Structure formats: structure tokens, C-alpha cells
Amino acid sequence: MKAEMQNNQPMDSSRRKWLKTVGLGAGAAALSACVDSGVKELSAAGMPTEHFPSATPNLNDGLVRLSSNENAFGPSAKAVEAMKGELFNLCRYADPTTDVLKKKIAKQEGVSEDQVVVTNGSSPILFGYAEWITQNGNKLVTSEATYEGIPRGAEFMGADVTYVPLDANMDFDLDAIEAAVTDDTTAVYICNPNNPTGRAVDAAKLTAFAKRVSQKAQVFIDEAYIEMSDAYPANVQSQLAADGYNVVICRTFSKIHAMAGQRLGYAIMPVEQAQQLGRKLRMGGVNYLGLVAGMASMDDHANLNTMRDRVKTERAKLTAAAQELGQAYAKNPQGNFIYMDTGMPHQEFSDKMRALGIKVVGRTWPGYDTWSRISVGTPEETDACVKAMKAVLA
Ligand SMILES: Cc1ncc(COP(=O)(O)O)c(C=O)c1O
């Protein structure tokens, strides 16, 4: 790993305010107080804000929410039962239970528990990591059309970010990314399966890539949707961390575990980094009910398998609709969403869908201004979405 370097860049006030917003730097305590201005700041930086409470004040706004890749099927019944049984223990700090989850994750992923950092959702890891990049060489290489947490965050904090175009299949172009990595690159961000394209890269190719590239720069693999991919668990890259490669593997309970509102995520990283960065990322600890539900959900293998099938069924309805309508889309998506060329400015598409009661993603990725990401919902919600897509596009 590269030695700690001081980021000598002057920090302007909007950056400082933004750091406060995402809960970093000296202003972490101000997080809840500045959510409203934070949403504006994040929006201005091109970051996703759909999942911020003030941006979506009312769950019952009458819209079918297919905009944030939430898992509409809801958490495991066993997770819900486990939470009910632990409500009284909310009076206790959750540190000992966090250690139990760390051990559980370490066992499942075959790594040491000292490598595991647990946070309230994985977003704190992404934003904290973006800041870490600015303090450790300031250079990130990633792909176009990928999740913004690290790249846009790092860019906004002054890092030099190289965006490599997707290849002809809309995959991460691993060869071109490797070619873009230099001796002074700090990190490479790979999202697999990728948000928004849903494409998963070949597991063996990614493993070989990470083994080579991590000799030069740390490879961060965001596996938020990995459990939804057809080839799970073969796609999982935790073995790299177990084998001591300079990689970070990041996961969330927001997707297949359907716990987006409960906030739980984790990363696996080199021990020393987990100690230094982890202390900061935990920011006073994680929430108790999330831990309780997360552990119950991890054990509910039947639920996770059913969930993978349900997501796949609904995803197939969306790709079939895109195909029937003759719209280009990223083929063989592996998350709970599809990425489709709507043939009109994305905002126009999103407004037209909204008028029909369906909320799709309200932001764009540079270079893909007519493309929209559409999440799967329950069968009824996906059917309603397909109907609206046909009304808007036929
Ligand atoms: C690829 C990816 N990583 C990380 C996140 C952050 O999720 P959370 O903070 O809920 O764990 C998301 C959210 O949509 C995502 O799509």
C-alpha cells in the first residue's frame, strides 16, 4: 500500500460543507442537521440523492418507487422476527454485537475478522474511501457509467479521476483500465455487477486483473449486487483479500437482504487499513437492529435463494419489454435493475413515467443522456412499470 501522503490542496468552503454533509471531517455531528442542504450539495456534485429522507419525504406518495434499486420484496421474515425480539435491547450500545457480525462475515468470506469494517450502509465506506484517496496520492481510475459514490466523491474532493469508456458490450473494459493505471495511481474502482449497466465481468478475468493491478494500486471491488448475480457465489472476489492482495471488497445489506432503510454494510480490506480507516468509518458505531436483522438474514439461505429467483423473474419482464419495444439495453443484467436507451432525454422519460405513477432514476451518467435505469419491483409493480413503458415508448 502506498505511504500516507498529505493532500495539500486548498479546500474550498463548498467542499468542506459537503464533507460535513456526508459525515466526514470535523463536521460529522452535523449530518442530520444539514440533510436538506446536503441533498442540494450532493445533487450539485452529480451524486445520487434519491435515497435521502428529505428527497423522498413520503413513502406513500402514490408512486411505484423503481428509482433507487431497493428490494421491494422486503427483508427476510426471520430478520423481522429477530428485530422484534431485540427491541428492548436498543438501550445498549452495539459494539459487542458488531464484533459478532464481523466474525460471521469473516467466516463466510474466509478472511480474518481484523479485515472487516462494518458501517451503517456501505455509503460511508464509499465516501470515506473517496477521502482516503485524496490523502494517499489523489488518483483514481474507474469506468464511465458506474456508481458515483467513490468517483464523484473523490473528484469533488479534488482527486484526479480517469473514466475509461465501457467496451462494446457495455462492460468494464478491464484491459483499458489496466492500461490507464500508472505507478502513481492510488486506487481502481470496479463495481461488479455494475450500477447502472447491471453487467457482471467474468470472475476469472477480474481475479487475474486484480492480482496484477493491485501490485500498483489498490483495487476496490464494490459487490453491492453480487448476491443477485446468476453466478453467485462464483463471482465473489473475497479470496483476493484472504490471500493478502491489496484489494477492498465492499458489500451492503441494502440489496438482496432488502434492508436499505435499516442501514448496514461492510468492507473487507488489509488489516492496517481496516484499523485506520475503519475507526473513522464506523463513526461511533452501527445500529443495533441492523446487526440483528443482518445476521438473521445471512442465515436465511432459503430466503436469499428465493430472492435471487424473484429478482431474476421481474428483471426478465423488464428486458422482455425493452426488447419488444425495440429499445437498446445493457444485455444480461445481473442486479435488480435494467439500463435502457429510452430514445429521449432521460428527464423527459422519467417525467412521462412519473405521470403514469412510476418513479425511475432521475439522474444521468455522462455520455448516456438518453439512458435510464429502471429497478425491478414486486410482480404487480414491475407489471405496472412495463405497462407504463409501453405507453411512453410504443
Ligand atoms: C453499487 C452500489 N454501491 C453502494 C451503494 C450504497 O448502498 P448503501 O449505502 O445502501 O449500502 C449502492 C446504492 O444503490 C450501489 O448501487
Q: Which of 31-40, 184-193, 262-271 has the lowest mean pLDDT?
A: 31-40
- Give the CATH number of the domain where residue 182 resides: 3.40.640.10
Last residue of one domain, picked from the residues 267, 299, 331 = 299
Report the pLDDT value the prediction gives residue 28, as an integer from 0 to 100.
35
For residues 104 and 135, membership in a common domain is answered with yes
Structural domain total, the chain? 2
CB of 195 shorter than 6 A to ligand 1:
yes
For residues 284 and 210, membership in a common domain is answered with yes
Res. 34: pLDDT tops 50:
no
Res. 304: pLDDT tops 60:
yes
For residue 40, being part of any structural domain is answered with no
| Confidence bin at 24 (pLDDT 50/70/90) | very low
> Which are the contacts of 376, defined by CB distance < 8 A and separation ≥ 6?
66, 72, 311, 314, 315, 317, 318, 336, 337, 338, 382
For residue 51, being part of any structural domain is answered with no
For residues 261 and 308, membership in a common domain is answered with no
Q: Are 176 and 185 in contact (CB under 8 A)?
A: no
Closest Cα partner for 212 from 237, 233, 181, 250? Answer: 181
Last residue of one domain, picked from the residues 264, 299, 334 = 299
Give a three-class secondary structure readout of the chain: CCCCCCCCCCCCHHHHHHHHHCCCHHHHHHCHHHHHHHHHHHHHCCCCCCCCHHHCCCCCCCCEEECCCCCCCCCCHHHHHHHHHCHHHHHCCCHHHHHHHHHHHHHHHCCCHHHEEEECCCHHHHHHHHHHHHCCCCEEEEECCCCCHHHHHHHHCCCEEEEECCCCCCCCCHHHHHHHCCCCCCEEEEECCCCCCCCCCCHHHHHHHHHHHCCCCEEEEECCCHHHCCCCCCCCCHHHHHCCCCEEEEEECCCCCCCCCCCCEEEECCHHHHHHHHHHHHCCCCCHHHHHHHHHHHHCHHHHHHHHHHHHHHHHHHHHHHHHHCCCECCCCCCCEEEEECCCCHHHHHHHHHHCCEEECCCCCCCCCCEEEEECCCHHHHHHHHHHHHHHHC
> Which are the contacts of 166, defined by CB distance < 8 A and separation ≥ 6?
143, 144, 145, 172, 173, 197
Residue 66 CA to ligand 1 center (angstroms) comes to 15
Report the chain's C-alpha Rg in angstroms: 20
Q: Which domain holds residue 351?
A: 302-393
Report the pLDDT value the prediction gives residue 375, as an integer from 0 to 100.
97
Q: Are 262 and 253 in contact (CB under 8 A)?
A: yes
Residue 123 CA to ligand 1 center (angstroms) comes to 6
CB of 254 shorter than 6 A to ligand 1:
yes
Report the pLDDT value the prediction gives residue 283, as an integer from 0 to 100.
77
For residues 264 and 349, membership in a common domain is answered with no
CB of 223 shorter than 6 A to ligand 1:
no
Res. 94: pLDDT tops 80:
yes
Res. 348: pLDDT tops 80:
yes
For residues 249 and 366, membership in a common domain is answered with no
For residues 212 and 262, membership in a common domain is answered with yes
Report the pLDDT value the prediction gives residue 37, as an integer from 0 to 100.
57
For residues 193 and 273, membership in a common domain is answered with yes
Cα–Cα distance list, 261 to 6, 51, 270, 290 (Å): 36, 9, 29, 9
Quick one: which atom of ligand 1 is closest to the CA of 126?
4
Q: For a ligand 1 pocket test, name from 51, 142, 255 the mutation site with the most ligand atoms within 8 angstroms of its C-beta.
A: 255
Res. 1: pLDDT tops 60:
no
Report the pLDDT value the prediction gives residue 39, as an integer from 0 to 100.
61
For residue 107, being part of any structural domain is answered with yes
Res. 229: pLDDT tops 70:
yes
CB of 147 shorter than 6 A to ligand 1:
yes
Q: Are 115 and 106 in contact (CB under 8 A)?
A: yes
Neighbours of 390 (CB within 10 A): 12
The residue length of the chain stands at 394
For residues 276 and 371, membership in a common domain is answered with no
Nearest CA to ligand 1 atom 3: 224
Last residue of one domain, picked from the residues 284, 299, 314 = 299
For residue 385, being part of any structural domain is answered with yes
- Give the CATH number of the domain where residue 314 resides: 3.90.1150.10
Residues 307-328: what's their mean pLDDT? 98
CB of 123 shorter than 6 A to ligand 1:
yes
**Span 37-50, pLDDT tens digits:** 556 666 666 677 66
| Confidence bin at 60 (pLDDT 50/70/90) | low
Q: Are 384 and 359 in contact (CB under 8 A)?
A: no
Res. 342: pLDDT tops 90:
yes
Characterize the bridge pairing of strands 218-222 and 64-66. Answer: unpaired
Residues 322-341: what's their mean pLDDT? 98
CB of 122 shorter than 6 A to ligand 1:
yes
For residue 323, being part of any structural domain is answered with yes
For residues 257 and 318, membership in a common domain is answered with no
For residue 351, being part of any structural domain is answered with yes
Residues 188-203: what's their mean pLDDT? 98
For residue 72, being part of any structural domain is answered with no
For residues 270 and 163, membership in a common domain is answered with yes
Report the pLDDT value the prediction gives residue 362, as an integer from 0 to 100.
76
For residue 11, being part of any structural domain is answered with no
Which residue type sits at 326?
G
Residue 252 CA to ligand 1 center (angstroms) comes to 7
**Span 113-168, pLDDT tens digits:** 999 999 999 999 999 999 999 999 999 999 999 999 999 999 999 999 999 999 99
CB of 128 shorter than 6 A to ligand 1:
no
Res. 331: pLDDT tops 80:
yes
Quick one: which atom of ligand 1 is closest to the CA of 121?
11
Report the pLDDT value the prediction gives residue 363, as an integer from 0 to 100.
79
Res. 18: pLDDT tops 50:
no
Report the pLDDT value the prediction gives residue 41, as an integer from 0 to 100.
65
Residue 122 CA to ligand 1 center (angstroms) comes to 6
Cis peptide before 379 (omega within 30 of 0): no
CB of 67 shorter than 6 A to ligand 1:
no
For residues 208 and 178, membership in a common domain is answered with yes
Q: For a ligand 1 pocket test, name from 52, 122, 259 the mutation site with the most ligand atoms within 8 angstroms of its C-beta.
A: 122
Report the pLDDT value the prediction gives residue 50, as an integer from 0 to 100.
65
For residues 146 and 288, membership in a common domain is answered with yes
Closest Cα partner for 137 from 296, 323, 261, 8? Answer: 8
Residues 158-182: what's their mean pLDDT? 97
Neighbours of 230 (CB within 10 A): 12
CB of 252 shorter than 6 A to ligand 1:
yes
CB of 121 shorter than 6 A to ligand 1:
yes
26 CB burial (10 A radius; 0-12, 13-18, 19+):
exposed
